[in-house]
Structure 1
Amino acid sequence: MVLSPLSRRARTAVVAALTAVALVLPASSSAAGPPDDGWRALPAAAAPDANPLKGFIPYAGSYSTFPHSMEWFYLPLNAVMTGPDRFDWKPLEDQLNAIAARGHQAAFRFYLDYPAKPSGIPQFLLDQGLLTRPYDDFDNHGLSVSPDYDDPRLAAALDTFIAALGKRYDGDPRAGFIQLGLLGFWGEWHTWPHNGDPGTENWFASQAQQLRVLKAYDQAFDKTKLMVRYPSTDNAALDLGYHDDSFAYSTLPGPGWHFMDLMQQAGTTGKWLKAPIGGELRPELQGCLFAVPMQCGGDGDNNFADGVTQTHVSWLLNHYAFSPGYTGTTYDNALAAAKSIGYELRVAAVRTSHQRRSLDVSVRIQNDGVAPFYYDWPLQVAAVGRDGRIARTWTTPWKLSGIKPGAPVELSTALRTAGLRKGDYTLVLRAANPMRGGLPLRFATAGQDTTVPGWLTLGRTRIS
């Protein structure tokens, strides 16, 4: 059969269609596009051992035994709330400043009742006659006490505290994540075994009081990411993430009360796309889970990889990694596990073109991790002169949070070059950590840190 030649209009339409297809090739493709479309592939590289706001983290302190970008701490409410409407923020400031001085962001929560520690209830509430209950559980032996969470005076005090905390710290770059805390043992939103099971009294906050705290936090914070312990229909629609504090032990679905059971029941299994998941690797598993062979027993999941896949977790408290620390193969396995959580951003290709007074820059970025980067840190492009100095920096309108795992994106912007001296420059890219001295976000791309520390080299260009 003989095919008739295409008309000029038809050929033009075919070429246009093929060109459109080339521009949306997945960033994971081995080719950045046809040779004449201007795209240049950037080779992949190993992900850094530590990147901001992800990985394993220790209790606050100076450690060099394991790579990390964050530190964790608790504070009792009475450390900062000194009266019904009086606050002394110094204890919180001291913690945040010490952590920031090490280049790290903080994750933290406040508590009223921490077993085996002195009570965190503000003294003015005790003076007003707030009902408290002593207990011996968790080696407490009456040291801490469980308050009546539904007492109107306590409820009002929590409203005031949450509003004040949000007014002062929402958007503070030193705070990576804040957990709601306040309610229950350790601020973990439960009072088990005093939870109303047959033969027990229920000491926990009523559903109405839980909702009041949830909504107060949601109203007080718009920028800093929040987490609550348990997924539920009460918090499903709120701008809150979750923390699984029994990770790899009661994470995978099964008995109906595990973390992923609750996620499914609340309809929040896809919430990780917008709200972060964190938590703690179950303490009993921290020293045994990464050994070869794995040495953890008991009735827990003992399955780190599946937990990561299902939860899309970004960070986990795992103090064992820092003290006493891992060695040999166990260290290697733990480091691989830490790197497997959270985001992993890679710039796959770059394209530039010159206009009269601007430079058009496009990049293809993909996320090879299991979670987004949840903050829109400024994505900046800079021109580096032959002297190695940055001649100009442009802040782009690109949004980091929109780069989801498995969904490569193409970002473009026009950079005004008026006033920039003519000559050859090297273009570099970074996501600027808003905390001064903070750990740079590094891409899993060859060329990271090669021209300027903390920046990814995109390639050479000429301004004429």
Structure 2
Amino acid sequence: MTGSNTFDWSTVDNAVNQAAARGHQTAMRFYLDYPGRATGIPQFLLQGGLKTYPYTEFDNSTSVIPDYNDANLLSAIDRFIAALGARYDGKAQIGFVQAGLTGFWGEWHTYPYDGTTKPQNYMPTTANQRRVLNAFVSAFKTTELEVRNPDPVNADLPIGYHDDSFALETKPVAAGWHFMNKINDNGLQNKWKTQSIGGELRPELQSCIFSPAGCPVIEPDGDNDFPGSVQQTHISWMMNHYAFQTGYSTADRARALAGAKSLGYSFRATRAYLPTSATAGSSITVGASVQNIGIAPFYYPWAARVALVDSSGNLKANTAVGWKISDVASGASKDFTSSLSLTGVAKGSYRVVLQVPNALSNGAPIRFANAGQDTAKNGWLTLGSLTVN
């Protein structure tokens, strides 16, 4: 944000475009205050007299806490979020937007400056927290939103959550402050069914959580339980920078990959509905029963396609059938059927295939947990065979 209502998106665009070039969606969060880094507060606000507070916690000597209740700051945040949504909402390149901007790392806390641990409470008022969240909801009608803490301020809003101390401060404890304590205490146990859950594997656990030896005790009430945390949160994605910056040993890497695969959705086709033969130029009914054995739904309405694969591996009658993969709830199954025209399809033997394409043109399609995945055509699930007479 270069001025009151001016923006330079080049840095963000470059990051988003680099990820998209690899066929990946971006998850993003913006911050004003990141311990140990230069301030993220727009310079025009600082020059305009915005009050800030220095602190030394988290080895910080450079960043500062802004007055989150400052009228000019709140107005600037409103305009920034609106501009961000206008630029990125619904874009195929974006997977998740986290409602940052507030608190250390944009994680919606200023601990220990919470009014109890220390007398100063530098968080915005409840009303101003709600104002920021409402701005995100207004700006993002399609892209999934997440915020750090499940609490009464956001409980009724269409916003998911991100647990950034995942597998350490996740499962409920008697002290009542872990992530799942907040989910349970606020009646949010089923919110994952409609809004996504993300997060970050706690950095101190990243190097050891997938090792048979496990991790040392970091906190008295610490979980050190990756699979248990996955099951309770229904988490769909998480950050794990150790996997990419350092990397795991061969055995630990296999366990880390298994851990990654345990997140989110897992679709399998349990039945296929199609004739074994048809007449050239006719239409046939094709269907599939799709089951989601994963711990969470797929949150975007990506639509399926059905096609025929000839003996040379070419796609014929490639048709969008409108089956929305988001309609298959976690732990449920759904039947889909549609008409497939054979107009222009020559006589011969074909395999009938199904795909749910990625919204990114170069992104990987959804893979099904079936042996028939990729057997007739890479990226497609084989449903059966058809002879066109």
Moved more, 378-387 or 220-229: 378-387
**Could you report, residue by residue, the CA deviation over 1:393-450 in whole angstroms, capped at 9, with x for unpaired residues?**
1111211112122211111112233343343322111111111211232111112112
Q: State whether residues 306 and 354 of structure 2, in contact with CA within 8 Å, keep that contact through their aligned partners in structure 1.
A: yes
**Structure 1 residue aligned with 2:257:** 335
Q: How does 1:231-246 map to 2 (within 5 A)?
A: 231-246=150-165
The one of 208, 213, 235 equivalent to 2:127 is 208
Mapped partners of 2:358, 2:144: distance in 1: 16
**Structure 1 residue aligned with 2:195:** 275
Pairwise CA distance, 1:198: 5.1
The one of 285, 291, 305 equivalent to 1:380 is 305
Pairwise CA distance, 1:99: 1.1
- How high is the TM-score relative to the length of structure 1? 0.80
* Paired letter, 1:452: K
The one of 438, 443, 449 equivalent to 2:363 is 438
Mapped partners of 1:249, 1:198: distance in 2: 21
The one of 158, 169, 184 equivalent to 2:103 is 184
Pairwise CA distance, 1:243: 0.2
* Paired letter, 1:125: L
Mapped partners of 1:148, 1:445: distance in 2: 54
Mapped partners of 1:357, 1:165: distance in 2: 48
Q: State whether residues 302 and 359 of structure 2, in contact with CA within 8 Å, keep that contact through their aligned partners in structure 1.
A: yes
Mapped partners of 1:451, 1:323: distance in 2: 36
**Structure 2 residue aligned with 1:418:** 343
Pairwise CA distance, 1:199: 4.1
**Structure 1 residue aligned with 2:287:** 362
**Structure 2 residue aligned with 1:130:** 50
Computing the radius of gyration from Cα coordinates, the structure with the larger value is 1
- Segments of 5+ residues of structure 2 without an aligned counterpart are none
**Structure 2 residue aligned with 1:251:** 170
- Segments of 5+ residues of structure 1 without an aligned counterpart are 1-80
Mapped partners of 1:88, 1:347: distance in 2: 46
Q: How many residues align?
A: 383
Pairwise CA distance, 1:326: 1.1
The one of 1, 9, 19 equivalent to 1:99 is 19
Mapped partners of 2:259, 2:121: distance in 1: 38
**Structure 2 residue aligned with 1:287:** 207
The one of 369, 388, 408 equivalent to 2:333 is 408
SS in 2 for 1:322: helix
**Could you report, residue by residue, the CA deviation over 1:90-148 in whole angstroms, capped at 9, with x for unpaired residues?**
1111001111112211111011110100011111111211111111111111x111101
Q: State whether residues 105 and 175 of structure 1, in contact with CA within 8 Å, keep that contact through their aligned partners in structure 2.
A: yes
Q: State whether residues 5 and 79 of structure 2, in contact with CA within 8 Å, keep that contact through their aligned partners in structure 1.
A: yes
**Could you report, residue by residue, the CA deviation over 1:159-194 in whole angstroms, capped at 9, with x for unpaired residues?**
111111111111111111110100011000001111
SS in 1 for 2:350: strand
Q: State whether residues 233 and 267 of structure 1, in contact with CA within 8 Å, keep that contact through their aligned partners in structure 2.
A: no
Mapped partners of 2:127, 2:106: distance in 1: 17
Pairwise CA distance, 1:205: 1.0
Pairwise CA distance, 1:290: 1.6
- How high is the TM-score relative to the length of structure 2? 0.95
Q: Which has the higher contact order (CA 8 A, sep 6+)?
A: 1
**Structure 2 residue aligned with 1:265:** 185
SS in 1 for 2:322: coil
C-alpha RMSD of matched pairs (Å): 1.5
* Paired letter, 1:85: N
